[in-house]
């Protein structure tokens, strides 16, 4: 693109600092985009390092589109894919086509590297671009519930499509330096911005979490975001739209054209499977 230098994302110390500065400048409502957080997210994931594309203007980073590796089982077969996460353009450079160009290059690179799919959770503003510019399909809006008690998810084995967590990847996931996690019996939780309410991040009843050293805490008021059949212990109601955290729309793209078609009813997806908490 004219006037812009486009290159693959590289998680060098210099670039990590630039990503942190740009993300923090645009997403002013969160303080999580520290260099430490991005080092954890981009370089320490046991499934692999970041795949992305950057745009520079006069030597300064002005746009960044990134995804991190994940592994899913789909109808009994393992597939390696990417979770698209940090998509940002400096306000002075929006409307220049950078969103489309960086996303296109990122997904082309992912395909060349052998990744088989991309999954992402988008807000209202970015959903249109992913659907219409990159060819994603919408699986479903995520359910958001708040209440007293606990959400008990159905078992992984009851679903044909779900992420695969090993002891190593699960330990990495809960070393997120921007969040403090707790363990409430077999449920991993974290504080929210809503007073006294804890988000249910992951139910680990089917996983070995002995290597994850988390402080125990009992939660009474819970926020739950996900997509699968649930059982409720207590009283829960759907969170009003104006209070819902963003993002909310679950999208999927088959990069190689060899993944069997599935619907939201086949899927087990919870907060641990994306980067909101």
Same domain, 23 and 120: yes
Q: Is the pTM of this model over 0.85?
A: yes
Produce one character per residue of 200-217: b if its CB has 16 or more CB atoms within 10 Å, e if not. bbbbbeebebeebeeeee
Whether 60 and 165 map to the same domain: the answer is: no
pLDDT per residue as tens digits for the range 70-126: 999 999 999 999 999 999 999 999 999 999 999 999 999 999 999 999 999 998 888
Question: Residue 175 in contact with residue 40, Cβ under 8 Å?
Answer: yes
Do 62 and 102 belong to one domain? yes
Do 131 and 268 belong together in one domain? Answer: yes
The predicted pLDDT at position 164 comes to 93
**Are 26 and 132 contained in the same domain?**
yes
Same domain for 32 and 85, yes or no, is yes
What is the number of structural domains in the chain?
Answer: 2
Do 164 and 175 belong to one domain? Answer: yes
46 burial type by CB count under 10 A (0-12 exposed, 13-18 middle, 19+ buried)? middle
According to the 3-state scheme, what is the secondary structure of 137-201?
A: EEEEECEEEEEEEEEEECCHHHCCEEECCCHHHHHHHCCCCCCCEEEECCEEEEECCCCCEEEEE
Helical H runs in the chain? 13-26, 35-43, 98-112, 124-132, 167-173
- pLDDT on residue 84: 97
CATH of the domain at 132: 3.40.630.30
14 lies in the same domain as 82:
yes
- Same domain, residue pair 164 and 239: yes
Please report the pLDDT score of residue 29 as a whole number.
Answer: 86
Digit-coded pLDDT (tens) for 224-263: 898 876 777 778 888 776 666 566 899 999 999 999 999 9
- Do 94 and 151 reside in the same domain of the chain? no
CA 61 and chain centroid, separation: 23
Residue 27 has pLDDT above 60, yes or no: yes
> Does the pLDDT of residue 213 top 90, yes or no?
no
| 203 plus 68 within the same structural domain | no
Q: Please tell me which residue, 44 or 211, carries the higher pLDDT value.
A: 44
**For residue 212, what are the domain limits?**
143-243
- Do 58 and 127 sit in the same domain of this protein? yes
201: nearest Cα among 133, 269, 149, 134: 269
């Amino acid at each position: 693109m004219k006037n812009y230098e486009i290159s693959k994302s590289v998680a060098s110390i210099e670039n990590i600092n630039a990503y942190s500065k740009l993300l923090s400048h645009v997403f002013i409502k969160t303080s999580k985009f520290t260099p430490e957080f991005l080092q954890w997210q981009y370089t320490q994931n046991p499934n692999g390092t970041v795949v992305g594309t950057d745009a520079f203007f006069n030597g300064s980073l002005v746009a960044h589109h990134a995804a991190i590796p994940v592994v899913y089982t789909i109808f009994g077969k393992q597939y390696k894919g990417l979770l698209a996460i940090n998509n940002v353009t400096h306000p002075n450079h929006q409307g220049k086509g950078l969103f489309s160009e960086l996303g296109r290059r990122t997904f082309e690179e992912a395909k060349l590297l052998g990744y088989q799919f991309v999954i992402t959770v988008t807000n209202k503003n970015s959903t249109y671009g992913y659907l219409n510019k990159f060819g994603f399909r919408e699986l479903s809006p995520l359910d958001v519930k708040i209440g007293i008690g606990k959400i008990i998810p159905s078992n992984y084995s009851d679903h044909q499509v779900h992420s695969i967590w090993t002891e190593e990847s699960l330990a990495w996931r809960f070393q997120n330096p921007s969040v403090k996690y707790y363990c409430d019996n077999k449920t991993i939780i974290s504080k929210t911005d809503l007073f006294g309410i804890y988000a249910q991040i992951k139910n680990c009843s089917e996983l070995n979490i002995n290597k994850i050293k988390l402080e125990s805490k009992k939660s009474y008021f819970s926020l739950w975001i996900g997509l699968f059949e649930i059982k409720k212990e207590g009283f829960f109601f759907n969170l009003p739209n104006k209070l819902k955290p963003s993002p909310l729309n679950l999208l999927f793209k088959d990069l190689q054209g060899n993944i069997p078609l599935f619907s939201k009813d086949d899927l087990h997806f919870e907060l641990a499977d994306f980067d909101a908490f």
